[in-house]
Amino acid sequence: MKDNYFGKELKRMILRMRILVRIKQGPVYSYGLMKEFSKGHFAKFFGDDIKNDVYNTIKSLEQSGYISVTTKSEDGRTKKYYKITKRGDAVLSSARKIQKETMKQISGLFE
């Protein structure tokens, strides 16, 4: 049995922040995000449910007002592109400050 050191809520929080960081880099559509997160270390960290987790997280971020959506027609298909909102940017900035302080405290444990 594989050890799971991270609880489901912690994984969700990490994914939410990572998706916000990625969307802040530039508009992206949900399938593009899913493809990015379904390979590499994120796929290993989240396992087989990463695709559902990404889609559910995007929906949650949109409902929370942290990202907004615009639709574009490309090659006869409609794609939803997401971008970060002012509210999402503020949350991300706050999370970065908390992360830096937490890392200082954790590093102090090993001195």
For residue range 54-94, list pLDDT tens digits in order: 889 999 999 999 999 999 888 888 889 999 999 999 999 99
> Is the separation of the CB atoms in 79 and 72 below 8 Å?
yes
pTM above 0.85, yes or no: no
Closest CA to 91 of 82, 99, 103: 99
Domains of the chain listed by start with CATH number: 8-109 (1.10.10.10)
